[in-house]
Amino acid sequence: MAANEKLREKISHLPHKPGIYKFFDDEGIIYVGKAIDIRKRVSSYFNRSAQHNKKTLKLISRIKDIEFTIVDTEADAFLLENNLIKQYQPKYNILLKDGKTYPYICIVNERFSRVISTRNKINDGSRYFGPYPSGTTMHIVLDLIRTLYPLRTCTYNLSPENIAAGKFKVCLEYHIGNCKGPCEDLIDETTYNQYISQIRNILSGNLSIAKTYFKERMAEAAADYQYEQAHRYKQKLDLLEDYQAKSTVVSNTLSNIDVFSITSNEKCAFVNYLKVMNGSIIQTQSLELHKKLDESDEELLATVIVQLRHEFESTSREIITNIELTLPLDNITITQPQIGDKRKLLNLSLKNAMYLRKEREGRQEQNKNLGEQREMRVLETLKKDLRLTELPRQIECFDNSNFQGDNPVASMVCFKNGKPSKKDYRHFHIKSVVGPNDFESMYEVVTRRYKRLIEENQPLPQLIIIDGGKGQLSFAVKALKDLDLWGKIAIVGIAKRLEEIFYPGDKLPLYIDKKSESLKLIQRLRNEAHRFAITFHRSRRDAGTLKTELTEVKGIGPTTADALLQKYRSVKKLKELSLAELTEEVGQRKAQILFDHFHSSGETASSGEAS
């Protein structure tokens, strides 16, 4: 696919350096990519010998401008690309966010910090832990923390001045033992901050500091013969032990490791992430990614790793994956273990990714089956309502369009098994009819359509729908009779005003229940045929207007007018072209003629009306 001259000029000046590039269409950024060599990478998109898939070709066709940023290393390009994708969310880049927000546990940045749940991360100095895969999982951890530590839940501003002034009184939470009353200065800030420090460690997967703390307090209380207090510490210690026991323990020798696995099909990829701290899996996430440009597993996983590590604030220096992967990140080791505890951990992650894939593919298949069942039910209803002898698996609907007799055209849309089959849609130029004669036009297009199907030995529809009343229907019937198809294909007409269904030769229309699925299918066919005809008619009318205006310019013939019409569609767009751009299209002499015509006295490059 060739780029236009402006893009080719820009590409020729791109640097042979690492960095990122941005593709723009008329509305903004549509793709961000990284490259070791920016010019080579961008040029590869426009290489005629390159074998691009349909999605990439569609991206290339929309590119109107290119920008780039040079960086020092490939690693810098990798991270900058990730940041720009999150910032601009371009249409053709893979995005992890699907509108769903995940819960976090937040240690609020304030004096006598609260520990709360939230789904919104804001940059206010607070510390966030998560995200958790579900609210239930998050609340289990939050309830454990609130049982272990007597934290405040009020939103008072507990500044030293406010407390000294006695502005607050303890509430019910203090009286039932859930809070130590910092609002009345009943607990010192140092002790309270010890609680917060231990909570941070628990949320980071390090339970040893909190366990040591409760063991020491229990021993001190027992030594002072405070057996009830010692028992309360013992209960808290048991809670921590129970929580740790319920965590998935993989190996005490594994600490601070990120595990990523990926599996994919043609349309989607499925990724699982496990975060391991101190031998236990403390966080997990599974994602489904919809491919945008037929990305490889390596490209997808690299994107996911950077984004999820940022999301989970991971500082792990070791990453385990199920595919060979190179990430241009400093001090990061990536392995694909074959045996031992790490291999078991990888298998667990892959098992989760495969489960998600199986579940989603099963759901898609189920939805497909349900859709097919619904479509068959609608067709059965249509067969019954119209008293057909066979199931209308293929239905074709015809419509005419003209404007005051000019540019008469017709359209035919085809539905197979209740769904549009757009490859079978057809447009018709009316050839044998002069003036606005919908009846004769309908006869012509029905004749042409089914004569061709017969000659090519193509399957015939089980039902024909004519958008119009008795007149159009009778001429369509005449066409079928002349082709010896009368009685072999069911045919009906639909009148717009009252949604009446007409049978050939029957004076009285059939009224189908307005809520009926079969009537809705007929209406959908009729509306689609009308849309298809109107779109075609407008394009012909606009083309005629543009061609007429261009051919009136002395020195511009029909061949040149056709070429410009094919590409630009409107006079307004032509008037916006510079002399150099016109020269590229039609040569220097004709370009000068057009430019002078468009920019003669009283006109400017932007004054033209769309034709």
As averages over each run of 10 residues, the pLDDT of the chain (611 residues) reads 68 88 89 90 83 85 88 81 83 70 85 90 83 74 85 91 91 90 92 90 78 86 86 83 62 79 91 82 82 87 87 86 86 88 87 88 83 87 90 92 61 92 87 77 92 92 89 92 92 83 85 85 90 70 54 75 70 78 84 81 34 28
Give the residue from 507, 571, 517, 514 showing the smallest Cα distance to 545. Answer: 571
d(CA 273, CA 319): 10
HSE-up (13 A, CA, CB side) for residue 387: 7
pLDDT of residue 125: 86
d(CA 527, CA 535): 12
260 and 309 in contact (C-beta within 8 Å)?
A: no
> Model pTM?
0.55
- Amino acid present at 7: L
- Amino acid present at 397: C
pLDDT of residue 110: 92
161, two tokens: 């001045």
The residues pairing with 442 across neighbouring beta strands, listed in sequence order, are none
The residues pairing with 106 across neighbouring beta strands, listed in sequence order, are 116, 128
For every residue of 193-260, DSSP letters joined together read: HHHHHHHHHHHTT--HHHHHHHHHHHHHHHHTT-HHHHHHHHHHHHHHHHHHHHSEE--TT--SEEEE
pLDDT of residue 232: 83
60 and 46 in contact (C-beta within 8 Å)?
A: yes
d(CA 68, CA 84): 12
* Torsion (CA) 298, 304, 310, 316 in degrees, nearest 10: -50
Beta-carbon contacts of 440 under 8 Å, excluding residues fewer than 6 positions away, are 432, 433, 475
Q: Give, in words, the CATH class of 1-88.
A: alpha beta
436 and 408 in contact (C-beta within 8 Å)?
A: yes
Give the residue from 518, 520, 500, 524 showing the smallest Cα distance to 510. Answer: 500
Distance of alpha carbon 72 from its chain centroid, rounded? 32
The residues pairing with 321 across neighbouring beta strands, listed in sequence order, are 260
Helix (H, G, I), strand (E, B) or coil at 564: helix
Tell me which CATH code domain 257-360 carries.
3.30.420
By 3-state DSSP, what share of the chain in percent is helix, strand and coil, each rounded to 5? 45, 20, 35
40, two tokens: 């080579």
Residues in the chain: 611
d(CA 535, CA 455): 29
Answer yes or no: same fold for 1-88 and 257-360. Answer: no
580 and 4 in contact (C-beta within 8 Å)?
A: no
Give the residue from 28, 95, 34, 30 showing the smallest Cα distance to 68. Answer: 34
Which residue in the block uniquely carries the two structure tokens 């609907």? Answer: 397
**Domains in the chain: boundaries:** 1-88, 104-247, 257-360, 390-539, 553-599
d(CA 92, CA 32): 8
On the question of a cis peptide bond just before residue 420, with omega within 30 degrees of 0, the verdict is no
42 and 66 in contact (C-beta within 8 Å)?
A: yes
Count other Cβ atoms within 10 Å, centred on residue 98: 9
d(CA 100, CA 115): 23
d(CA 512, CA 346): 60
Question: Running DSSP on this structure, what letter comes out for residue 486?
Answer: B
pLDDT of residue 458: 92
CA angle 545, 548, 549 (to 5 degrees): 85
Look up the CATH architecture of domain 390-539: 2-Layer Sandwich (3.30)
For every residue of 242-299, DSSP letters joined together read: HHHHHSEE--TT--SEEEEEEEE-SSEEEEEEEEEETTEEEEEEEEEEE-SS---HHH
d(CA 344, CA 339): 8
